[in-house]
């Protein structure tokens, strides 16, 4: 039996410990990358909504009204201006809301699980400027509230 080849229990434990250390280092970076990707998706979604709203305003809204919903009838989805995933209001860890008023609109993106799916809140209004801020970035009746928020480049 002395000629058997293989790994000893100690050698296997050393390998498992090394893999555990590497995983402990890599997982936080992976989670941070996922948050960054979710935030980039939220910004892209708001840009898409702004473009869709401008198209809706110029065509279906007769230069006087914006769409007041992502889905339903009439909406940005029913007019073919956004895709069905964005129309659900939840995309890539962010909840997206759209509100309109008389001749104005705003959309906001909030993380569905703050700190995990994203840390920043985003908003866009009729002017097309996207703002990044804390949880006070809200949208109601077509008015975007951006207390402490800053425009992104």
Confidence at residue 116, expressed as pLDDT on a 0 to 100 scale: 92
Question: Alpha-carbon dihedral of residues 114, 120, 125, 128, nearest 10 degrees?
Answer: -140
Tell me the pTM.
Answer: 0.84
For residue 75, give the 3-state DSSP assignment: coil
Handedness of CA 20, 18, 37, 118 (dihedral sign): positive
Which residue, chain included where needed, has tokens 């959309």? 107
**How far is it, in rounded angstroms, from Cα 33 to Cα 30?**
5
Instruction: Assess whether pLDDT exceeds 70 at residue 153.
Output: no
Question: Each residue of 11-65: pLDDT tens digit?
Answer: 999 999 999 999 888 888 888 999 999 999 999 999 999 999 999 999 999 999 9
Assign 105 a pLDDT band (cuts: 50, 70, 90). very high
């Amino acid at each position: 039996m002395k000629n058997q080849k293989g790994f000893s229990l100690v050698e296997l434990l050393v390998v498992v410990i090394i893999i555990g250390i590497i995983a402990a280092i890599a997982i936080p970076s992976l989670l941070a990358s996922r948050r960054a990707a979710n935030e980039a998706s939220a910004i892209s979604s708001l840009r898409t909504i702004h473009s869709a709203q401008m198209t809706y305003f110029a065509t279906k809204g007769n230069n006087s009204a914006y769409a007041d919903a992502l889905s339903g009838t009439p909406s940005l989805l029913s007019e073919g201006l956004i895709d069905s995933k964005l129309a659900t209001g939840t995309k890539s860890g962010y909840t997206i809301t759209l509100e309109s008023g008389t001749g104005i609109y705003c959309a906001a993106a909030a993380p569905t699980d703050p700190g995990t799916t994203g840390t920043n809140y985003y908003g866009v209004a009729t002017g097309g400027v996207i703002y990044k801020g804390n949880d006070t970035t809200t949208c109601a009746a077509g008015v975007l509230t951006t207390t402490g928020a800053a425009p992104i480049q």
